[in-house]
Amino acid sequence: MAVIIDGKRIAQQIKTELKEEILKLKEAGIVPGLAAVLVGNNPASALYVNMKQKACNKLGIYSEKITKPDDYPEAELLNLIDSLNKRDDIHGILIQSPLPEHIDEGKAILRVDPRKDVDGFHPINQGLMLAGRPMFLPATPSGIVELLWRSGNKPAGKHVVILGRGYLVGRPLAVLLALKNQKGNATVTLCHTGTPDIYKIARQADILVAAMGKAKYVTKEMVKPGAVVVDVGTNKIPDPNHPKGERLVGDVDFEEVKEIAGAITPVPGGVGPMTIAMLLSNTVKATKQGL
């Protein structure tokens, strides 16, 4: 039976450490500030922004939520980002994804000042990450690295197999885990839809990361006995027994895989809390870098 890796507990550790840093900043008359821009009426996006705002408030970070309608013009969004770039009380800017189809998400990301890009998506921050000299790391990949490190599942010398090559998780995580430092130094295999015999490769992993967005895709046949399994997926599936008629599951068949894995992250309560913790960490870092 696998050990459950408690993302909530580890995220709380990070928040406790951040609270001390925030208190020191406040003693110097500085309050970290995060602006979250939400365009459109995507319920999941609204939920994520509210969760981030609530976490900010608990830590003493100033949080400003800016909501705009679905038909908000791209030019006006770019102007809004420009105004946030200029504000001294805003140290981090978050453009909630996905944006409506008429807005070029790449343009919006490029418009954010890299020094305020707490999501770590700006090409400058992506380039610095590749060079091994990061300013801001993407929240979910860096959260996974921190989760592995703090739970005692250090990736150095291990074979990590990542299922999913997405821009938000798979690709940046592969870079971070392969970097020559104490929290990386792994041998990384990045699998995707074009990978032949993906089951065979997955079964070779000492650490298996599922990030392809397919509910319960990873079964026990894909997991080496004793492997560490990190589930990044958040998928809603019908469930007549649930009050809402649906429930949240990951990309891993949790009940099946926990019988064979050495350690596993749950959904919810695994990677999700770490993503928010790392976003807050980046906001504090941005504040300190701006001094």
In this predicted structure, what is the pLDDT of residue 165?
A: 96
- Of 15, 96, 224, 251, which residue is the catalytic one? 96
Co-location of 176 and 234 in the same domain = yes
Classify residue 174: in a domain, yes or no: yes
Please state, in angstroms and rounded to a whole number, the distance separating the CA atoms of residues 135 and 129.
Answer: 7
* pLDDT score of 126: 96
Q: Which domain holds residue 66?
A: 29-118
What integer pLDDT is reported at residue 238 of this predicted model?
87
Domain boundary pick from 118, 147, 167: 118
Quick check: is 124 in a domain? no
Residue 211 lies in a domain: yes
- Whether the pTM exceeds 0.85: the reply is yes
How confident is the model at residue 172, as a pLDDT? 97
Residue 10 belongs to some domain of the structure: no
The β-bridge relationship of strands 92-95 and 159-163 is: unpaired
CATH number of the domain bearing residue 261: 3.40.50.720
The reply to whether 159 and 258 lie within a common domain is: yes
Question: Is 12 within a domain?
Answer: no
177 shares its domain with 264 = yes
What is residue 220's predicted lDDT score, i.e. its pLDDT? 97
> Which residues of the chain, if any, have pLDDT below 50?
none
Helix/strand/coil for 230? strand
What CA–CA distance (Å, rounded) separates 229 from 62? Answer: 35
Q: What is the DSSP string of 86-99?
A: H-TT--EEEEPSSP
Q: Where are the beta strands (DSSP E) in the chain?
A: 3-4, 33-39, 62-68, 92-95, 159-163, 187-191, 207-210, 228-231, 235-238, 246-249, 263-264
pLDDT in the model for residue 30: 97
Query: What's residue 270's pLDDT?
Result: 97
Residue 52: which CATH number? Answer: 3.40.50.10860
Cβ atoms 269, 6 nearer than 8 A:
yes
Phi/psi of residue 39, nearest 5 degrees: -110, 125
Residues 153 and 93 in one domain: no
Known catalytic residue at 239: no
Per-residue pLDDT at 42: 86
* Domain match, 208 and 101 both: no
Instruction: Identify whether residues 158 and 76 lie together within a single domain.
Output: no
On whether residue 101 sits in a domain, the answer given is: yes
Do residues 158 and 256 both lie within one domain? yes
Q: Is residue 213 part of a domain?
A: yes
Question: What number of other Cβ atoms are within 10 A of residue 75's Cβ?
Answer: 10
Tokens of 1: 């039976």
Q: Is residue 279 part of a domain?
A: no
Can you give the pLDDT at residue 43?
85
Token pair in block for residue 113? 């000042």
Q: Do residues 171 and 76 share a domain?
A: no
Q: Of the residues 116, 117, 119, 253, which is catalytic? A: 119
| Distance from the first to the final alpha carbon of the chain | 49
Same domain, 181 and 249: yes
**Active-site residue 52, yes or no?**
yes
Catalytic one of 52, 158, 258, 285: 52
Same domain, 162 and 266: yes
Last residue of a domain, one of 118, 147, 166: 118
Are residues 145 and 114 both part of a single domain?
no
Give the count of domains, the chain: 2
Is 268 found in the same domain as 163? Answer: yes
Tell me, what's the pLDDT at 237? 87
CB atoms closer than 10 angstroms to residue 173: 29
96 is catalytic: yes
Report cis status (omega within 30 of 0) of the bond before 134: no
